[in-house]
Chains A and B, each alone.
Chain A
Amino acid sequence: MELLIQAGIALAKILIVITVMLLTVSYLVYFERKISAWIQNRRGPNRVGWYGALQPFADVFKLLLKEDIVPSNANKFIHSLAPFITLFVSFATYAVIPFGPDIKLFGRTIQLALADVNIGVLYVLALTSLGVYGLTFAGWSSGSKYSLLGGIRSSAQMISYEVSMGFSIAGVILLSESLRPMAIVESQYGFMWNALIQPIGFITIVVSAFAETNRLPFDLPEAEPELVGGYHTEYSSMKFAGFFLAEYANMIIASAMIVTLYLGGWQFPYIDKFGLSMGLTAGIQVLSFLLKMALVLFFFIWVRWSIPRFRYDQLMNLGWKVMFPLSLLNLIWVAALIMIFNI
């Protein structure tokens, strides 16, 4: 019985999170189009609904009603498997992201995270590594040169930046003494945010996050002038929508991870000293998590429309010759800080 209740609570949390996430993904697309329009002095989508607010739904329905084309040159099974892997990975990663403190409801303690396991960080790293397969399969199976080049480029790029990402996360683990996301958040009490303690690690993880999510300035896999659509050139209908959804879902995960690891997670500095009621405190903390995430997402979009694309050799040089030594330096910096100041 107890197990059933636990499973019921877990299922309810999952449904809420997935619904919220789908809404955020569709509105992230909308806001990206709006913000890019403002940056370029245009109006952006403004026809469907109030200020174009129903545009994401119109787009999804349009894609739903399009013909699904599988090129005769393609490997049919892997061609369908690739968007599945990409989507699955980006949704399953949400399981370990903490978005609030423990709350008490109807006499039981409920954690505001889908699951708080002691392998949380490893789980995220493992799943994001799986994401490479989706893009590589998509590129290989389409039977088109544009797709193949896009797929290979994206896999080489993602694995290059994964190394420096791993090292910058190691700096965080040194301070938190745990791989559990909740413990990492709690170790950043007050203004002990990792972004302030280890700024080098913060910079390397932000740059790696751009490369991992294939966003401009690192969107070489789908550089339009040379590779058309990159790995999703030969995709249409909901399979294309799957890649599109996954790209934005990955952006949300990347920002959630940056906030959790480096920007204090759901903590609002010294809120427990204000003497507010428990519900209000929890509410403010969840809101502060969402606000921090929104700021990081805005930064993602802002950079996309401000900085031109890198050349491929510059990208690989940056990854291996700059980011990798920097993230190593960060690790040594953190170890030295702990030894000298005993934090």
Chain B
Amino acid sequence: MIEQYIPIFLVIGVSVVFSMAVIASSKLFGPQRPDSEKLSTYESGMKPVGGVRERISIKYYLVAMLFIVFDIEVIFVYPWGVEFKKLLGEQGISALVPMIIFLVVLELGYLYVYKKGGLKWD
């Protein structure tokens, strides 16, 4: 069973080495002549106004929270999806009922967010 995963670990190892080599090669071959003007933010453009680490619109956080809720919902659907045909053979139509209840509960939440304007982006 575990030997199935050997190629995956090998691929992960090879891609780590390869990506590191790409990043390292940027220091190896190019010239290195830094000066303070060249290292300034957005060099050769306008001087930036204000700081960078400032507050970000709340909407992004809202999207992140909604994502967590609905992505976990997806993960709960997968095991049911794998077993669905088997359950249908054993229990008939009642294989569908628990999942419908689960989805309806979540879609009520979705409709609530929708009505409250949580998905509105202006």
Interface on A for B, CB 8 Å cutoff?
Answer: 3, 6-7, 10-11, 13-15, 18, 64-73, 80, 83-84, 87-88, 91-92, 94-96, 114-117, 122-123, 142-146, 148, 152, 155-156, 159-160, 162-163, 166-167, 170-171, 173-174, 177-179, 228, 233-234, 236-239, 241-242, 245, 312-313, 316-317, 320-321, 324, 328, 331, 335, 338-339
Kindly identify which residue among B12, B31, B60, B86 contacts A67, using a CB–CB cutoff of 8 Å.
Answer: B31
Instruction: Give every chain B residue within 8 A of A95 (Cβ-Cβ).
Output: 7-8, 11-12
Residue contact B82 to A179, C-beta cutoff 8 Å: yes
Instruction: Give every chain B residue within 8 A of A13 (Cβ-Cβ).
Output: 7
Task: Tell me if B81 is interfacial: C-beta within 8 Å of chain A.
Answer: yes
Residue contact B4 to A92, C-beta cutoff 8 Å: no
Residue contact A7 to B6, C-beta cutoff 8 Å: yes
Residue contact A160 to B63, C-beta cutoff 8 Å: yes
CA distance A339 to B86 in the complex (A): 12
Instruction: Give every chain B residue within 8 A of A338 (Cβ-Cβ).
Output: 84-85, 88
Contacts beyond the supplied A91-B11, A145-B50: 12 A-B pairs with Cβ under 8 Å: A15-B14, A18-B18, A65-B30, A68-B27, A73-B52, A177-B86, A179-B82, A234-B42, A242-B19, A313-B122, A316-B121, A321-B114
CA distance A142 to B3 in the complex (A): 41
Least CB distance, A162 to chain B, in whole angstroms: 6
Interface on B for A, CB 8 Å cutoff?
Answer: 3-8, 10-12, 14-16, 18-20, 22-23, 25-27, 29-34, 36, 38-43, 45, 48, 50, 52, 56, 60, 63-64, 66-67, 70-71, 74-75, 77-78, 81-86, 88, 93, 96, 103, 107, 110, 114, 119, 121-122
Q: Name the residue on B nearest A67 (C-beta).
A: B30
Residue contact A71 to B20, C-beta cutoff 8 Å: no
Instruction: Give every chain B residue within 8 A of A335 (Cβ-Cβ).
Output: 84, 96
Instruction: Give every chain A residue within 8 A of B110 (Cβ-Cβ).
Output: 324
Residue contact A67 to B82, C-beta cutoff 8 Å: no
Least CB distance, A94 to chain B, in whole angstroms: 7
Q: Name the residue on B nearest A320 (C-beta).
A: B119
Instruction: Give every chain B residue within 8 A of A72 (Cβ-Cβ).
Output: 36, 39-40
Instruction: Give every chain A residue within 8 A of B38 (Cβ-Cβ).
Output: 69
CA distance A317 to B78 in the complex (A): 26
CA distance A143 to B40 in the complex (A): 10
A67 with B70, Cβ < 8 A, contacts A7-B10, A10-B6, A87-B18 known: no
Residue contact A170 to B81, C-beta cutoff 8 Å: yes
Least CB distance, A30 to chain B, in whole angstroms: 19
Residue contact B60 to A152, C-beta cutoff 8 Å: yes
Least CB distance, B14 to chain A, in whole angstroms: 6
A-B contact pairs, 7 of them (CB 8 A): A14-B7, A73-B41, A87-B22, A177-B84, A178-B82, A234-B42, A328-B103
CA distance A313 to B121 in the complex (A): 5
CA distance A210 to B68 in the complex (A): 21
Least CB distance, A178 to chain B, in whole angstroms: 6
Instruction: Give every chain B residue within 8 A of A11 (Cβ-Cβ).
Output: 10
Least CB distance, A196 to chain B, in whole angstroms: 19
Instruction: Give every chain B residue within 8 A of A3 (Cβ-Cβ).
Output: 3
A324 with B70, Cβ < 8 A, contacts A69-B38, A177-B84 known: yes
Residue contact B48 to A144, C-beta cutoff 8 Å: yes
